[in-house]
Structure 1
Amino acid sequence: MPASERAVELLTAAAEAAHDKKAENVLAFDVSEQLAITDGFLVASASNDRQVRAIVDAIEEKLRIDFDAKPVRREGAREGRWVLLDYLEIVIHVQHDEERSFYALERLWRDCPTIPLPSPVPGPATSAE
């Protein structure tokens, strides 16, 4: 059974919030066939600890405001290297680039279908003049 409609909506909203904070390589996987405990994973990365935390905060705020969803577990926020947000229906991983490269979560889930996500919306162009 594929990921629930709500799980896909949560993943899409989380991806939008992550993109708003300049997250890189944002991917979503439908893990519902492989795992009984959750429907989807979102993986995103950032180049520094502060940005990881900003992405996590933006995701939490968007899911709380738009869906009244709060994570049942939040791990790694203090260090800012790999933060896990567990919403039961979905699990979100925001990693520092180095952790993303080392642990390569997308390799673990490569046999799972990906969930299409919206492309990041480019910010306003700035002039160097």
Structure 2
Amino acid sequence: MNPAASDTAVELIQLAAAAADAKNGADLVALDVAGRLPLTDAFLLVTGRTERNVIAIAEGIEERLTEAGHRALRREGRSEGRWVLLDFGDVVVHVFHEEDRLYYSLERLWKDCPVIPVNLPVREPAD
């Protein structure tokens, strides 16, 4: 039997996804890697359109999760704004510039892992 992502990991995915969405993060994909990696339960992959957007998304996610009582254990790549990694223990968030996301193709590397549904808040249409 393969272990599944913990309830805490799923909760963190939802919080991080909502924060990414609020900063115009795109192509959100959450993967349950608990059965394949002993170090974390889930990945959240997010795309930013520019370096500035990648940094804003990462900062928004870190701020939201910190407010909820979950501090990042490690962060990498913030200065370049091409691929920011935020390690929250149960969840690792990867915020990519769109070119880097295509190049590294983590979805392909982890294609055997179950997808965790991401429930984003409903946005009001702009007038």
Residues 95 and 16 (structure 1), Cα distance of their counterparts in 2 relative to 1, 3 Å cut = same
Q: Which runs of 5+ in 1 are unaligned?
A: none
Equivalent in the alignment of 2:4: 2
CA displacement at 1:120 relative to structure 2: 5.3
Amino acid at match of 2:84: V
The two structures have a TM-score, normalised by structure 2, of 0.94
The structure that has the greater radius of gyration is 1
Aligned match of 1:27? 29
Identity %: 48
Match of 2:57 in 1: 55
Q: How does 1:1-129 map to 2 (within 5 A)?
A: 1-66=3-68, 68-119=69-120, 121-126=122-127
8 Å CA contact 2:18, 2:121 repeated in 1: yes
How many residue pairs get aligned? The number is 125
**Shift in Å, 1:54:** 0.6
Q: Normalising by the residue count of structure 1, what TM-score does the alignment of the two structures yield?
A: 0.93
Residue type at the aligned position of 2:61:
I
- Deviation track 1:55-96 (CA, whole Å, cap 9, x = no partner) reads 001100110112x11111100000010000011111000000
Distance 2:56 2:125 in 1: 20
* Separation in structure 1 between the aligned mates of residue 39 and residue 67 of structure 2, nearest angstrom: 24
Q: 1:47 to 1:120 in 2, by over 3 A?
A: farther
